[in-house]
A and B are shown apart, each in its own frame.
Chain A
Amino acid sequence: MASKLTRSNRSGWLMAFPGVALMTLFIIVPFFLAFAFSLTNQRLASPNAAEYVGFENYSDLLGLAVFTLEPERDEDGAVLRDDDGEIDYPRLRNFTRNNPEYPGLQGKREWFSWQSGDNRTVVLASDVVFMKALVNTITFVFFVAPIQAGLALCLALLINQRLRGINVFRTVYFMPVVVSIVVVSLLWKFIYSPGDGLLNNVLGWLSFGAFNGIDWLGRTDTALPSIMAMSIWQGVGFHMVIWLAGLQNISPTLYEAGNIEGASKWQAFRYITWPGLRNTAVLILIVITMQAFALYAQIAVMTKGGPLDSTQVLVFQAVERGYGKQDISGGSAISVILFVLVLAISLVQRYLTREK
């Protein structure tokens, strides 16, 4: 018989109320507030009332333009060059600052450019830092998601054996997950530190002193990869455990049947393990992607987006803008963009991995 509690709607709601209220207050309301703020010019603390500004915040972030600069020429039409032989171009700011002939370029700055013939094609962005953050974030996800998932699967396969002392390995691999990401980031800051950092020391020792040491986090070409490596290391144990749960869901008799049919190790993986891990794989892919998009603590602790914005990422930008620059509406707009991005990617992943 159903108890009074499950039948009576009122007491049910009453009991759910504290949880629902807290979730509404701290998750649902902020979620919709972010949408609302992103359409205004709200500032963190300002005497002026916020005004509705439409999609201005979004166009300020996402505005892009392509512009081709033609070289300066003399009267004969020959290309002018400076003392080093480089082509002289008109200054970009002539077009982007209060030039009524080019309203589309107003306020934009150079993001990157390339040379085609004598011309130089420039891509301009309203917000170059945001664009860098966007590209960095996507790069991060692009590398971290597959590598972390793959590595975690390898570890799970290694660990899913009945060997003496296997629990030691399970614990060791899982340990970084238990430690706070902030602590881990601080540790890795020491590991990566130039000069006497652990990594440089080990590499120097392994190469008998031939290796001179790199300022891993201080160079634009190594900073982001360094953070990727450290993030993969930190999260791999967590996903290993999820894989492991998936592996242990596969009935051992299936492997015995495979064994009787003469399946090799690889064939057993291909025909039994991998199909058996399908749902786990979908879950892991989506979880890793979402986690990777949310990259923040490592950046905040280790590089603060530097050097030269080479490690700017979306969440760091959102926080930086919202609280650092008190531009809550800008930060909200970044959050919303991030939300749409992650949602879109997750939906695509769901679609691609759907049950056929």
Chain B
Amino acid sequence: MATVRLRDVRKSYGSVEVIKGVDIDIEDGEFVVFVGPSGCGKSTLLRMIAGLEDISDGTLEIDGQVVNDLEPKQRGIAMVFQTYAIFPHMTVRENVAFGLTIAGASKEEKERKVAEAARVLQMEHLLDRRPSQLSGGQRQRVAIGRAIVRDPKVFLFDEPLSNLDAALRMNMRMEIGKLHQDLKASMIYVTHDQVEAMTLADKIVVLKGGKVMQVGTPMELYHNPANLFVAGFLGAPSMNFLQVDVKEAAGDRVVVGNGALDPLQISAEGSSFRAGDRAILGVRPQYLDPSEDAAGMLHGQVELTERLGSETVVDIGLRDGSSIIAAISEDRVLKAGSNIGLTFDATKAHLFPHEEIREEAH
């Protein structure tokens, strides 16, 4: 178990900088998830921590020691890959014991540690099989077993579940969560699946284009996204964004509205909106409450209703031509074409400066 600190860590391939100065603190025993869109540098960052990629600039500390120039094996880490990376010609037992074989451990030690890992992962019955005789989930279990046996200070996972089907993924997700509780080791987990991020993480790091967008607990990120990107990235269906005009601004109190939205007062702490500015109002679909009698502050027409049983997702065309999505947590039929009014709790809406739209485009 150990802390991991990244200080202004950078990575360039030739003249292209893909990690652009990242600071992250990972506490002892913490489960940290890196999320972000494809190509944002999650894997690169993880591989830099593992020692598989050089660190172009900045410092990486594990357990208080700068490890920039150490070999992977000297860093006290273990890594689980998306493609499992288990050795096809070895049995499960040999795979799990691989690190010990390399280190020249005694037979008894190998037996003991493999048995221990097999017990934790409930795969005692698989030990004498070859990888070709295992399912995807079982293979990933072997890879995790190989990591456990090393007794690392930090576990690194690079999208370990993305090659598994949905049902298995949920199972394995829970197992990894349990594993973290059992082992209490620091873990860094890369994924682009936000459900994995929300459920597993003590702390989420949202990355985009090689930069950290926000760091915080899953609920902090969900309820108080620091910017448009984080707001839009977490939550499904993703947050609705309305282009609004600032009608009045007095300190933290801002009144916004547009063609479809009646003037609405919301609090925007620490921001500097002025009357006449344009802004983005973010509302999660779950917080929108439609009423068919057209009462409400947002006005539009029902375009499409998707009934999922426990939830109903409604596409609504707003009066100003934009469209939003509402997610109602019950089964309800809304007639297409009918006029609709939506209400929402202003304290659960978020106001972002309009400039961020342009930053998003990058």
Report A's interface with B, CB cutoff 8 A. Answer: 251, 253-254, 256-264, 267, 271-272, 275-276, 278
A256: which B residues are within 8 A, CB to CB? Answer: 52, 79, 81, 85
A278 and B89 contact, CB distance less than 8 A: yes
B71 and A262 contact, CB distance less than 8 A: yes
A259-B52, A260-B78, A261-B73 known; A253-B85 Cβ under 8 A: yes
A251 vs B131: C-alpha distance in the bound complex, in angstroms?
Answer: 15
Interface size class of B (residues with CB under 8 A): 20 to 34
A272 and B83 contact, CB distance less than 8 A: no
A12 vs B305: C-alpha distance in the bound complex, in angstroms?
Answer: 55
Q: How many A-B contacts are there with CB distance less than 8 Å?
A: 60
B99: which A residues are within 8 A, CB to CB? Answer: 261-262
A81 vs B143: C-alpha distance in the bound complex, in angstroms?
Answer: 80
A252 vs B50: C-alpha distance in the bound complex, in angstroms?
Answer: 15
Please give the distance in Å from A245's CB to the nearest CB on chain B.
Answer: 17
A261: which B residues are within 8 A, CB to CB? Answer: 73, 98-99, 102, 146, 150
Query: Could you say which of A253, A263, A278 contacts B83, with CB atoms under 8 Å apart?
Result: A253
Report B's interface with A, CB cutoff 8 A. Answer: 50-52, 71-73, 77-79, 81, 83, 85-90, 98-99, 101-103, 146, 150
A278 vs B101: C-alpha distance in the bound complex, in angstroms?
Answer: 21
A253-B81, A272-B87 known; A267-B72 Cβ under 8 A: no
Query: Could you say which of B78, B79, B98 contacts A271, with CB atoms under 8 Å apart?
Result: B98
Q: Which residue of A lies closest to B149 (CB)?
A: A261
B88: which A residues are within 8 A, CB to CB? Answer: 275-276
Please give the distance in Å from A315's CB to the nearest CB on chain B.
Answer: 37
A257-B79, A267-B102, A271-B98 known; A262-B87 Cβ under 8 A: no
A275 vs B90: C-alpha distance in the bound complex, in angstroms?
Answer: 9
B89: which A residues are within 8 A, CB to CB? Answer: 275-276, 278
A289 vs B52: C-alpha distance in the bound complex, in angstroms?
Answer: 41
The 8 A-B residue pairs with the shortest CB-CB distance, nearest first, are A262-B73, A275-B89, A257-B85, A261-B99, A253-B85, A260-B72, A260-B79, A263-B102
A260 and B73 contact, CB distance less than 8 A: yes
Query: Could you say which of B72, B83, B146 contacts A262, with CB atoms under 8 Å apart?
Result: B72
A258: which B residues are within 8 A, CB to CB? Answer: 98, 102
Please give the distance in Å from B132's CB to the nearest CB on chain A.
Answer: 11
Q: Which residue of B lies closest to A274 (CB)?
A: B89
Looking at A259, A264, A267, A278, the one whose CB has the most chain B CB atoms below 10 A away is A259
A278 vs B90: C-alpha distance in the bound complex, in angstroms?
Answer: 13
A264: which B residues are within 8 A, CB to CB? Answer: 102
B51: which A residues are within 8 A, CB to CB? Answer: 259-260
B50 and A262 contact, CB distance less than 8 A: no
Please give the distance in Å from A157's CB to the nearest CB on chain B.
Answer: 18
Q: Which residue of B lies closest to A256 (CB)?
A: B52
A31 vs B105: C-alpha distance in the bound complex, in angstroms?
Answer: 57
Pairs across A and B, CB under 8 Å, 12 listed: A253-B85, A256-B79, A257-B81, A257-B85, A257-B86, A259-B72, A260-B50, A260-B73, A261-B99, A261-B102, A275-B87, A275-B89
B103: which A residues are within 8 A, CB to CB? Answer: 262
Beyond the given A258-B102, A260-B51, A260-B78, could you list 13 further A-B residue pairs with CB under 8 A, ordered by the A residue number? A256-B79, A256-B85, A259-B51, A259-B52, A259-B71, A260-B77, A261-B98, A262-B71, A262-B102, A262-B103, A264-B102, A267-B102, A275-B89
A251 and B83 contact, CB distance less than 8 A: yes
Query: Could you say which of B72, B85, B101, B102 contacts A251, with CB atoms under 8 Å apart?
Result: B85
B90: which A residues are within 8 A, CB to CB? Answer: 271, 275
Please give the distance in Å from B48's CB to the nearest CB on chain A.
Answer: 13
Please give the distance in Å from A252's CB to the nearest CB on chain B.
Answer: 9
A276 vs B88: C-alpha distance in the bound complex, in angstroms?
Answer: 8
A259-B72, A260-B50, A262-B103 known; A271-B150 Cβ under 8 A: no
A253-B81, A259-B52, A262-B99 known; A271-B73 Cβ under 8 A: no
B102: which A residues are within 8 A, CB to CB? Answer: 258, 261-264, 267, 271
A260-B78, A262-B99 known; A254-B73 Cβ under 8 A: no
B87: which A residues are within 8 A, CB to CB? Answer: 254, 257, 271-272, 275
